[in-house]
């Protein structure tokens, strides 16, 4: 049981978030201090911070049962908006991700992430939940598939992938055995390993080990074997039947770094910026201009490169530590939450957040594809900032009510 004298607001979570927002504002200021098109953006970002904080307080104040009961309508609304964005959205840098609301631009995929979390949490919070039966594990798959497909179509693979990742975490949290879960996603590893290694041998080896540990029931075993068999035999055929330009398109979709005139250049510049920062950095406002004047997204997707260059490894490490506090406290709240919905909601939120953070950071150090997703709390951008703060607000909501009877 939670100690009765424990404070209700989760202070480490709150302080770490405020710390990240501060670093973000300072870095946006620094990144846009070079003469150029984006000067003065930090003022707007400051205004967004205020709005985001107010919004976070608001969602923290309302009992999460309301979100529970509003889950499906919100989900429906967000799907409508996702369809709308494909139809009438604004195209920036090759993707339709925004809907214009007067002077503001709004990214429905962020809202969809929250709404899907609510729906999944509501679904898994069922007294008769039994994840060994398809009628219980299949619906969440469909719930996630629709927004995933719509967001991937924008195209925004980075954001789209956070939906299935969230689902995996929730399956696990709701009680699906880890081995079974890994078996379920084995066709994905199958495809990935095929692309990376070009042979099926690696996968067969890993699959055998997995089978030995998971010891699935016969039905599941047959299903998984069937899926993997289908993937193994159709994939090379499909691939060979594609034309070169179609293959290129897929490769660029999966890994935009392949386009050297575009994001490949950014990766190299990002690496140079971070690497040249060294352990101590070049000093706030002192380093970035030269290297980063060449980086068009230095205040958005590549803001972590600016941190790495100006504040060095120590600064970058500080940011990592703050994120770790947010994530670990988040999972902790899920563990101590008052009821099932709150707990599941917290896990969904934290997983999505963590995935976004890691994909962005690994991208700036050159270990993940450039998929165009911002770094939560640090990157410039209104919708993402508000939604990220809402996510923290929801976690605080769980914290506030963890001793309720």
Partner 1 sequence: MPSGPPRKVRDARYGALATLALAGFGLVLIGLLRLQVVQHDELQRLAEQNRVRLDVLRAPRGAIRDRFGRLLADNQPSFDVVFRPMPAESVSRARAIVRSAWLATVSALVQDDTLAVRRRVEEANRTGQTAVLRRNAPYAVMAAVEEVRADLPGIDVQVAPIRRYPEGMLAAQMLGYAGEINDQELSDREDEGYKLGDLIGKSGIERKYEDVLRGQNGAEFVVVNAMGKRVSTLREGPPRLPVPGHDVTLTIDLGLQRAVEEAMAGVQRGAAVVLDPRDGSILAMVSKPAFDPNEFSRGISNARWQELSAQGDNPLLNRAVQSAYPPGSTFKIVCMLAGLRSGLVRPDSHQPVACNGGFTFGGRRFGCWDHRGHGSIDLITALEFSCDVYFFQLGLELGLDRIEQTARALGLGERTGIDLPAEVRGLVPSAEYYNRHFRSGHWPRGVLLNLGIGQGELLTSPLQLAMMTGEIANGGHPIRPHVVRAIQGVPEFKIGKPVAPGIEADETAWNAVHEAMVRVVSAGTAKGAQVPGIEVAGKTGTAQNPHGRDHALFVCYAPADHPTLALCMVAENSGHGGVVCAPLVGRLLRTTLLGDSLAIARGARRDSTAADTTGGDVD
In the complex, which residues of this chain contact partner 1 (CB under 8 A)?
A: 35-36, 91, 93-95, 125, 169, 172-173, 175, 178, 243, 248, 258-262, 264-265, 268-269, 271-279, 289-291, 293-294, 308-309, 312-313, 316-317, 320, 323-324, 327-328, 331-332, 334-335, 337-340, 343, 347, 350-351, 354, 358, 361-362, 365-367
Q: Closest Cα to residue 150, out of 99, 112, 188? A: 112
* Cβ density class 289-305: b for 16+ within 10 Å, e for less: bebbeebbbbbbbbbbb
Q: Shortest approach of partner 1 to residue 218 CB, angstroms?
A: 26
Q: Shortest approach of partner 1 to residue 109 CB, angstroms?
A: 18
Q: Are 190 and 231 in contact (CB under 8 A)?
A: yes
Q: Shortest approach of partner 1 to residue 316 CB, angstroms?
A: 5
Please, which residue, 44 or 338, has the CB nearer to partner 1? 338
CA pair distance 189, 232, nearest whole angstrom: 11
Preceding peptide of 155 cis, ω within 30°: yes
Please, which residue, 57 or 321, has the CB nearer to partner 1? 321
The DSSP letter of residue 10 is: -
Q: Shortest approach of partner 1 to residue 350 CB, angstroms?
A: 8
Please, which residue, 38 or 223, has the CB nearer to partner 1? 38
- Structure token digits, residue 78: 């967000």
Q: Shortest approach of partner 1 to residue 54 CB, angstroms?
A: 29
Please, which residue, 136 or 331, has the CB nearer to partner 1? 331
Please, which residue, 81 or 165, has the CB nearer to partner 1? 165
Please, which residue, 215 or 248, has the CB nearer to partner 1? 248
Please, which residue, 216 or 372, has the CB nearer to partner 1? 372
Q: Shortest approach of partner 1 to residue 378 CB, angstroms?
A: 14
Please, which residue, 83 or 155, has the CB nearer to partner 1? 155
- Structure token digits, residue 344: 């599941």
Q: Shortest approach of partner 1 to residue 160 CB, angstroms?
A: 18
The DSSP letter of residue 198 is: S
Q: Shortest approach of partner 1 to residue 209 CB, angstroms?
A: 19
CA pair distance 315, 294, nearest whole angstrom: 22
CA pair distance 142, 148, nearest whole angstrom: 10
Q: Shortest approach of partner 1 to residue 278 CB, angstroms?
A: 5
**DSSP of 312-371, one letter per residue?**
HHHHHHHHHHHHHHHHHHHHHHHHH-SSHHHHHHHHHHHHHHHHHHHHHHHHHTTSS---
Q: Shortest approach of partner 1 to residue 337 CB, angstroms?
A: 7
Q: Is 174 helix (H, G, I), strand (E, B) or coil?
A: coil
Q: Are 290 and 268 in contact (CB under 8 A)?
A: no
Residue 135: alpha-carbon gap to chain centroid: 27
Q: Closest Cα to residue 388, out of 372, 401, 402, 375? A: 375
CA pair distance 331, 349, nearest whole angstrom: 9
Q: Is 96 helix (H, G, I), strand (E, B) or coil?
A: strand
Q: How many CA atoms lie within 13 A of 223 on its CB side?
A: 11
Please, which residue, 93 or 188, has the CB nearer to partner 1? 93
Please, which residue, 12 or 94, has the CB nearer to partner 1? 94
Give every strand in the sheet of 90-92, ordered side by side: 90-92, 95-101, 104-106
CA pair distance 255, 244, nearest whole angstrom: 16
């Amino acid at each position: 049981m939670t100690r009765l004298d424990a404070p209700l607001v989760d202070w480490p979570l709150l302080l770490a978030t405020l710390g990240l927002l501060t670093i973000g504002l300072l870095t946006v200021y620094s990144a846009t201090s070079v003469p150029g098109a984006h000067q003065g953006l930090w003022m707007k970002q400051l205004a967004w911070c205020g709005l985001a904080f107010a919004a976070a307080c608001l969602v923290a104040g309302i009992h999460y049962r309301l979100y529970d009961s509003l889950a499906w309508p919100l989900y429906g609304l967000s799907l409508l908006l996702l369809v709308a964005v494909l139809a009438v959205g604004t195209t920036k840098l090759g993707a339709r991700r925004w809907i214009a609301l007067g002077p503001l631009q709004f990214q429905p995929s962020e809202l969809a992430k929250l709404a899907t979390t609510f729906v999944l949490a509501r679904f898994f919070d069922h007294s008769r939940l039994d994840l060994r039966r398809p009628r219980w594990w299949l619906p969440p798959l469909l719930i996630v598939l629709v927004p995933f497909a719509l967001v991937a179509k924008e195209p925004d693979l980075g954001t789209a992938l956070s939906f299935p990742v969230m689902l995996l975490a929730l399956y696990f949290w709701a009680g699906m055995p880890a081995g079974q879960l890994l078996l379920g996603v084995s066709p994905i590893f199958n495809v990935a390993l095929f692309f990376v290694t070009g042979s099926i041998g690696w996968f067969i080896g890993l699959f055998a080990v997995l089978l030995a540990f998971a010891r699935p029931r016969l039905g599941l075993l047959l299903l998984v074997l069937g899926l993997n068999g289908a993937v193994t035999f159709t994939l090379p055929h499909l691939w060979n039947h594609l034309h070169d330009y179609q293959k290129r398109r897929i490769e660029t979709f999966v890994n935009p770094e392949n386009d050297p005139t575009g994001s490949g250049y950014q990766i190299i510049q990002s690496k140079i910026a971070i690497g040249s920062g060294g352990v101590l950095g070049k000093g706030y406002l002192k380093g970035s201009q030269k290297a980063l004047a060449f980086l068009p997204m230095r205040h958005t997707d590549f803001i972590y490169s600016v941190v790495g260059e100006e504040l060095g490894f120590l600064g970058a490490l500080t940011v990592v530590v703050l994120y770790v506090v947010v994530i670990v406290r988040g999972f902790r709240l899920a563990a101590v939450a008052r009821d099932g919905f709150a707990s599941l909601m917290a896990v969904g939120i934290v997983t999505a957040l963590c995935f976004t953070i890691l994909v962005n950071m690994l991208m700036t150090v050159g270990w993940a594809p450039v998929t165009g997703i911002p770094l939560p709390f640090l990157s410039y951008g209104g919708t993402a900032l508000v939604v990220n703060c809402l996510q923290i607000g929801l976690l605080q909501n769980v914290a506030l009510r963890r001793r309720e009877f």
